[in-house]
Amino acid sequence: MLETKKSLPILFAVMFLVMVGFGIIIPVLPFYAEEIGASPTQLGFLMAVYSLMQLLFAPMWGRISDKIGRKPVIMIGIFGLALSFFLMGIATQLWMLFAARIIGGFLSSANMPTVMAYVADITSEEDRGKGMGIIGASIGLGFIFGPAIGGIFSEQNLHTPFYLAGASSLLTFVLVLFLLKESLPEDKRSQGQQKRAPISEMLKGRLSFLFFLQLFVSLSLSGLEATFAYFAAETAGLGTVELGYIFMIMGLAGAIVQGGLVGRLTKQFGEGFVIQIGIFVSAVGFALILFTESFVTAAIFLTVFGIGNGLIRPSVSSLLTKQSTAGHGSTTGLLSSFDSLGRIIGPPLGGLLFSMSIGLPYISGILLSGIAFILYRVFHHKQNSKVGGR
């Protein structure tokens, strides 16, 4: 499609810049909050409240985008992100930081589901996996560059990265305003109102297994992210600089896989095959991490996990938007909600398991991968039963 060729590069740039802005504040926020007077517990709540807003409101924004179109909702999300960054930059008290995070989480929860819905609008079913993979790659790359930029600009002043992130978001807003065309024509919006299935129906049917699959994948990933620094320090004596390089290598590998491999594999073998391969490779990665003993082994094993994980989300998004009778926005919004739920539960669960035994978060990651695999097989069985029963 000509529209796909024009819009996908713009969407890639949009999500890259959004994630660069989001990533800029990651290395700075803990120190900034501490300077204002936050305790470690309050910092935990400060991080969690953003994901909580995403959990609660992503389905709402997805559904709104089915009613009024994708472009205005994407613009609301990006403006909200810019607003929250500037509010954090001028914050002088802890409640101001919390208010900024709540506002940012509420409004920016519009971004991910609506962009995914936009991709579903402009791609054929054959190329859906490729489109989702390209967006996944832009997110991964943004997370690589963002923290590096934030770390560099925080050396002189802790406020600077927040203003920089806000400026990056405003630039993205302008990019969307002038370059991105609407992907959902008005006739399809009214059509969607009549045909759209309620969210409760998606959670009762066979598609519910795919949503819960994503929950367990997100749960295992966030548990790893929360504990790997401590694990690598204890088993291999690695510091923050080495860990930064390791996560950069992992992110690059994941971005390359999503941007170049997911589309080809889903086109040739289908999303189901790619999801299963992704889960298997992730489980192998978790198992290998237990044998980390140096920088090289940590980088290789984490990259194996990153490649597997990178195959799953775009393929799940693609399969859901093909199978769901709800609007694309409602479907991707609910998926984002399950993803956020995993990111809320995962870090404290990973920390609890780590305190019991340092290898437990990764053993649990293997088990969670096994549950995700079983959920896909149940979905596949029910799908075949439905087709066979026609």
Whether 134 and 273 map to the same domain: the answer is: no
Whether 191 and 203 map to the same domain: the answer is: no
Stretch 214-223: mean pLDDT: 95
DSSP 3-state of 334: helix
DSSP 3-state of 293: coil
Distances in Å between the Cα of 75 and the Cα atoms of 63, 166, 171, 172, 329 are 15, 14, 11, 9, 15
Q: pLDDT tens digits for 252-269?
A: 999 999 998 999 999 999
Distance CA 180, CA 189 (A): 18
Boundary-marking domain end, from 164, 195, 226: 195
- Total tally of structural domains belonging to the chain: 2
Whether 138 and 184 map to the same domain: the answer is: yes
Question: Which of 17-21, 116-120, 337-341 shows the lowest mean pLDDT across its residues?
Answer: 17-21
Nearest in space to 23 (alpha carbons), one of 192, 143, 171, 121: 143
Q: Residue 3: enclosing H or E segment and its boundaries?
A: helix 2-24
- What backbone torsions phi and psi does residue 182 show, to the nearest 5 degrees? -70, 140
Residue-number span of the structural domain to which 349 is assigned: 197-390
Whether 179 and 219 map to the same domain: the answer is: no
Cβ atoms within 10 Å, residue 68: 15
Distance CA 174, CA 334 (A): 28
| Owner of token pair 């073998």 | 269
Nearest in space to 166 (alpha carbons), one of 251, 97, 241, 88: 88
User: Packing angle between helix 295-323 and helix 328-356, nearest 10 degrees?
Assistant: 150
Q: What share of the chain is helix, strand, coil (3-state, %, to 5)?
A: 85, 0, 15
Q: What is the pLDDT of residue 44?
A: 79
8 Å CB contact between 366 and 287: yes
8 Å CB contact between 206 and 379: yes
Whether 182 and 202 map to the same domain: the answer is: no
CATH of the domain at 297: 1.20.1250.20
Q: pTM of the prediction?
A: 0.89
Whether 361 and 219 map to the same domain: the answer is: yes
Q: DSSP string covering 221-270, please?
A: HHHHHHHHHHHHHHHH---HHHHHHHHHHHHHHHHHIIIIIHHHHHHHH-
Distance CA 340, CA 227 (A): 18
Whether 240 and 302 map to the same domain: the answer is: yes
Distance CA 331, CA 318 (A): 11
| C-alpha 114 chain-centroid distance | 13
Q: What is the pLDDT of residue 194?
A: 47
8 Å CB contact between 132 and 119: yes
Q: Residue 128: enclosing H or E segment and its boundaries?
A: helix 128-153
End-to-end Cα spacing for the chain: 32
Q: What is the pLDDT of residue 40?
A: 76
Whether 154 and 280 map to the same domain: the answer is: no
User: Which structure tokens are listed for 271?
Assistant: 């999303």
Boundary-marking domain end, from 156, 174, 195: 195
Higher-pLDDT residue of 274 and 34 is: 274
8 Å CB contact between 299 and 245: yes
Q: pLDDT tens digits for 61-74?
A: 999 999 999 999 99
Whether 206 and 296 map to the same domain: the answer is: yes
Whether 170 and 221 map to the same domain: the answer is: no
Distant-in-sequence, close-in-space partners of 325: CB < 8 Å, separation ≥ 6: 195, 196, 197, 201
Nearest in space to 235 (alpha carbons), one of 307, 304, 303, 297: 297
Q: What is the pLDDT of residue 190?
A: 52
Q: pLDDT tens digits for 332-367?
A: 999 999 999 999 999 899 999 999 999 999 999 999
Higher-pLDDT residue of 186 and 53 is: 53
Boundary-marking domain end, from 165, 195, 225: 195
Whether 161 and 250 map to the same domain: the answer is: no
Sign of CA dihedral 55, 60, 61, 63: positive
Residue type, 269: F
Cα dihedral 164, 165, 170, 176, rounded to 10, equals 130
Whether 312 and 384 map to the same domain: the answer is: yes
